[in-house]
Amino acid sequence: MVKNGALEIQESHKSGKWILKIRGPLIKDTVQEFNTVVEPYFKKLGPVVIDLSDISFFDTFGVSTLVEKYQWSRIMEQDFSFKGMEPEIQDILKLEGLDHFLCLDKA
């Protein structure tokens, strides 16, 4: 488990996937912490799933960071998805036309 400031990130490796469970707010003040922990996983073998079920709050910086990570995963040809995204956040992304960027993992 990694605890950086306001974010706590728990790593596990299940069924060939790296799963990163994020706890805390994903906001302007924490996106750099998020990036520091998440970016090395783009260099590991196997899919990466970001579990957002314990995110306490998103702001526009948090949403932009998720979209950026997804776009970067496409460039790096990394299998990358999200799970546990609250329906309210999914609705906001749909309204903004960003939902197609964020693949949701069913596992």
**Amino acid, single-letter form, for residue 90:** Q
pTM for the whole structure: 0.81
**Are 22 and 50 contacting, i.e. CB atoms less than 8 angstroms apart?**
yes
Instruction: Return per-residue pLDDT of the chain as tens, 107 residues.
Output: 555 568 898 999 988 889 999 999 999 999 999 998 888 887 777 788 899 899 888 888 988 888 888 888 888 888 888 888 878 777 777 777 766 666 665 55
